[in-house]
Amino acid sequence: MLNFKWQHLILSLACILLIIACNSSSPNIQPDKPVIKVATDPTFIPFEFQTPQGEVVGFDIDLMKAIAQAANFTVNFESLPFDGMISTLQAQKVDAAISGITITPERLKTIAFSRPYFKAGLAITVREDNKDIKNFQSLQGRQIGVQIGSTGADFAKTIPNAKIITFNSGPDFFQDLINGNVEAVISDAFATLYAINNGKIKGIKIVADLLTEEYYGIATPQKSPYLDKINQGIATILSNGKYKQIYQQWFQYEPPQLPR
Ligand code: GLN
């Protein structure tokens, strides 16, 4: 009788141990979704900006959320000034950044980029009543406003004798353009066009064609463990129509073809 009880007890114990062992190595248990910390500077309408209630919204924000959903990770946005973004990525203080960041050979020396997700370019913006700045040549010797650390700032350095005035963010240089403190601004055409067309800024106009052809990418530190996942997410939303839907929601027309 006692013998049987002992046998029973040992058998039960063995079963419990087996169940614990099986559960802890079970492949069916879903590991938690990784949480990726993504920096953005919400002063770049319509890519990232703040609503009056303080919510960060925009094309990039919707896109990043869709990429995360497609590639099974969670995004935690963090607001950072654009100028400090590259060095913050380099120091690995954030996992990624989405902020209308142009992929450039110079930046690729210190950080990595996803495949291109947006076709962009620089434009010259002047006050509506300006009649003499029409193209690159007519910028010589002028006072030009740019955003510090941007591709527009790099471009302005190539203009002979230009007096370059740097600003922390887009909205600031447009105010100074309207006030007459700068004669022209060199910045991302899409963002400027959107602001003009949607009545966010009045009294300015874009002149000439695109000065450059640029592509935005999602930036990460070099050798990021998340870059593959991000690229995979971009590929998914490009092929399943989600990219097109978000693009049309913000820009109202067909998205252009993107290189790989
Ligand atoms: N596309 C520009 C750059 O990468 C500016 C981006 C921005 O102002 N957010 O420099």
Return the best residue to mutate from 50, 99, 114, 122 for the ligand 1 pocket (most ligand atoms within 8 A of CB): 99
For the cut 60, the answer to whether the pLDDT of residue 25 exceeds it is: no
Give the Å distances, CA to CA, from 248 to 15, 70, 91, 236, 253: 58, 19, 35, 17, 5
Name the pLDDT band for 150 (thresholds 50, 70, 90): very high
CA of 122 to the centre of ligand 1 (A): 10
pLDDT confidence of residue 15: 46
Please enumerate in sequence order all residues whose Cβ is within 8 A of that of 146, keeping only pairs 6 or more positions apart, or say none.
Answer: 152, 153, 155, 156, 164, 165, 166, 167, 173, 185, 186, 187
| Pair (140, 189) in one structural domain | yes
Q: How many domains does the chain have?
A: 2
Q: Are residues 144 and 187 in the same domain?
A: yes
Our answer on whether the CB atom of 217 is closer than 6 Å to any ligand 1 atom is no
Do the Cβ atoms of 48 and 58 come closer than 8 Å?
yes
Residue 32: pLDDT band (50, 70, 90) is confident
What is the band of 70 on the pLDDT scale with cuts at 50, 70, 90? very high
Residue 68 sits in a domain whose CATH number is 3.40.190.10
- Is residue 86, in this structure, part of any structural domain at all? yes
Ligand 1 centroid distance, CA of 169 (Å): 10
In a domain, 94, yes or no: yes
114 and 129 belong to one structural domain: no
For the Cβ of 187 lying below 6 angstroms from any atom of ligand 1, the answer is no
Whether ligand 1 lies within 6 angstroms of the CB of 155 is answered as no
Tell me, using a 6 A CB cutoff, whether residue 44 lines ligand 1: yes
Q: Do residues 130 and 203 share a domain?
A: yes
Is there an atom of ligand 1 within 6 Å of 147 CB? yes
Question: What is this structure's pTM?
Answer: 0.86
Task: Encode pLDDT of 162-221 as tens digits.
Answer: 999 999 887 789 999 999 999 999 999 999 999 899 888 899 999 977 899 999 999 999
Q: Is the CB of 99 under 6 A from ligand 1?
A: yes
Atom of ligand 1 at shortest distance to CA of 101? 4
- Ligand 1 atom at minimum distance from 149 CA: 10
pLDDT per residue over 82-121, tens digit each? 999 999 999 999 999 999 999 999 999 999 999 999 999 9
Instruction: Indicate whether 10 pLDDT > 60.
Output: no
CA distance 97 to 78: 9
Instruction: Average the pLDDT over 153-163 and give the result.
Output: 95
Question: Is the predicted pLDDT of residue 27 greater than 70, yes or no?
Answer: no
When pLDDT is cut at 50, 70 and 90, the band that residue 28 belongs to is: very low
Q: What's the confidence (pLDDT) of residue 208?
A: 73
Same domain, 152 and 178: yes
Taking only the tens place, the pLDDT of each residue in 226-259 is: 999 999 999 999 999 999 999 999 998 899 999 9
Cα-to-centroid distance, 128 and ligand 1 (Å): 24
Q: How far is the CA of 14 from the centre of ligand 1 (A)?
A: 62
> Which of 102, 148, 168, 214 best tests ligand 1's pocket when mutated (most atoms within 8 Å of CB)?
102
Is the domain of 115 the same as that of 219? Answer: yes
Q: Are residue 164 and residue 183 in the same domain, yes or no? A: yes
d(CA 39, CA 231): 17
- Number of C-alpha atoms within 13 angstroms, CB side, residue 7? 4
Question: Do 127 and 192 belong to one domain?
Answer: yes
Supply the pLDDT for residue 141. 96
Do 208 and 220 fall within a single domain?
Answer: no
Distance 44 CA to ligand 1 centre (A): 8
Domain that holds residue 99: 35-119+215-251
CA of 199 to the centre of ligand 1 (A): 21
